[in-house]
């Protein structure tokens, strides 16, 4: 193990609240809405008046790709569906174009857990080859000593629960950040939500299936303490309803690895990523 202070270049795409430490932690409340893409265009002008666009997010946003790890019996999936007050999951996440991913590409290994109503996320940034080693139960060749406890926790989870990659998800994200008194507020719109249940290397040219109808977007509000009144008023004005949706669970169910839960968004007869044209995607 090396005590290298940093192993990722400054240009990596990810959460805007980054610092010099290798290990980052976030505690937040998260609220999700399922919004028609056409309605997003009517919501965004108000969002853009109040919040700053994430510096990594241009008008088209940026890609987010995640590989989720679970047990043979899908323990993490069932904990989510059953609504356990304490639950967690392990994932490997990349921001940007997945076809650019190589062994040196910086990615994140994350443990995301729910404690009552609060979502906690802890993660370490590693080169892709070391992230794969860690998620396979092997110690990374090089990482910051300050992340030792986190690395040991991941290794324990992988070995004790015999974790393995189960599903991959990908989508295009537009993100906005709070400022001033609303520092810490984050609003994201995830569109073209796709997934697959095999060929888990990020750069593999594998076929992905839409796991959420491409005419729909997932709007997510993340706040450290409370959601500002203007934002709750905005969701009410557009008749947005809170949904309990998990992209991981949606992917597991879409590929038939678990029965459809009451939270499942129907995706029958949806096209694959390769059969849906760009114009069809933007016009639906």
Q: What is the CA radius of gyration of the chain?
A: 18
Q: How confident is the model at residue 217 (pLDDT cuts 50, 70, 90)?
A: very high
Q: How confident is the model at residue 119 (pLDDT cuts 50, 70, 90)?
A: confident
Q: How confident is the model at residue 12 (pLDDT cuts 50, 70, 90)?
A: very low
Q: How far is C-alpha 110 from the geometric centre of its chain's CA atoms?
A: 10
Rounded Cα distance, 58 and 18, in Å: 19
Whether the CB-CB separation of 68 and 93 falls below 8 Å is answered with no
b/e code 260-279 from CB counts within 10 Å (16+ = b) = ebeebbebeebeebeebeee
Question: Which range, 90-94, 118-122, 270-274, is most confident?
Answer: 90-94
Whether the CB-CB separation of 220 and 28 falls below 8 Å is answered with no
Domain range annotation of the chain: 23-283
User: Is the model's pLDDT at 284 over the cut of 70?
Assistant: no
Q: Which of 183, 194, 187 lies closest to 40, judged by CA? A: 187
N residues, the chain: 284
Rounded Cα distance, 64 and 258, in Å: 24
Whether the CB-CB separation of 124 and 109 falls below 8 Å is answered with yes
Enter the tokens of residue 176: 């906005």
23-283: CATH number? 3.20.100.30
Write down the pLDDT at residue 25: 66
| Full-model pTM | 0.85
| Residue 166: count of CB within 10 angstroms of its CB | 23
Rounded Cα distance, 34 and 231, in Å: 16
- Phi–psi pair at 36, nearest 5 degrees: -60, 140
Write down the pLDDT at residue 26: 66
| Residue 16: count of CB within 10 angstroms of its CB | 12
Rounded Cα distance, 260 and 143, in Å: 40
User: Is the model's pLDDT at 270 over the cut of 90?
Assistant: no
Share of the chain above pLDDT 70, in %: 85
HEC-encoded secondary structure of the chain = CCCCCCCCCCCCCCCCCCCCCCEEEEEEEEEEEEEEHHHHHHHHHHHHHHCEECCCCCCCCEEEEEEEEECCCCHHHHHHHCCCCEEEEEEEEEECCHHHCCCCCEEEEEEEEEECCEEEEEEEEEEHHHHHHHHCCCCCCCCCHHHHHHHHHHHHHHHHHCCEEEEEEEEEEEEEECCHHHCCCEEEEEEEEEEECCCCCCCCCCCCEECCCCCEEEEEEEECCCCCHHHHHHHHHCCCCECCCCHHHHHHHHCCCCCCCCCCCCCCCCCECCCCCHHHHHHC
């Amino acid at each position: 193990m090396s005590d290298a202070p940093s192993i990722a270049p400054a240009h990596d795409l990810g959460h805007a609240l980054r610092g010099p430490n290798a290990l980052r932690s976030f505690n937040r409340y998260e609220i999700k809405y399922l919004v028609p893409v056409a309605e997003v265009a009517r919501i965004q002008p108000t969002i853009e008046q109040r919040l700053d666009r994430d510096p990594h997010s241009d008008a088209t946003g940026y890609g987010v790709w995640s590989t989720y790890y679970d047990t043979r019996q899908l323990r993490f999936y069932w904990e989510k569906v059953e609504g356990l007050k304490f639950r967690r999951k392990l994932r490997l996440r990349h921001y940007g174009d997945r076809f650019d991913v190589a062994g040196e590409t910086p990615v994140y290994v994350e443990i995301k857990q729910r404690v009552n109503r609060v979502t906690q996320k802890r993660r370490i940034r590693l080169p892709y080859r070391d992230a794969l080693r860690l998620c396979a139960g092997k110690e990374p060749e090089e990482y910051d000593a300050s992340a030792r406890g986190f690395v040991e926790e991941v290794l324990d989870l992988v070995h004790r629960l015999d974790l393995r990659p189960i599903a991959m998800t990908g989508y295009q994200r537009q993100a906005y950040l709070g400022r001033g008194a609303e520092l810490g507020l984050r609003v994201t719109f995830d569109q073209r939500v796709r997934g697959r249940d095999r060929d888990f290397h990020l750069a593999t040219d594998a076929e992905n299936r839409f796991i959420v109808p491409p005419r729909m977007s997932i709007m997510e509000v993340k706040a450290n303490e409370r959601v500002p009144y203007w934002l709750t008023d905005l969701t009410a004005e557009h008749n947005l309803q809170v949904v309990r949706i998990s992209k991981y669970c949606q992917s597991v169910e879409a590929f038939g690895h678990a029965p459809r839960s009451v939270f499942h968004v129907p995706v029958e007869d949806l096209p694959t990523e390769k059969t849906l044209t760009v114009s069809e995607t933007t016009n639906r």
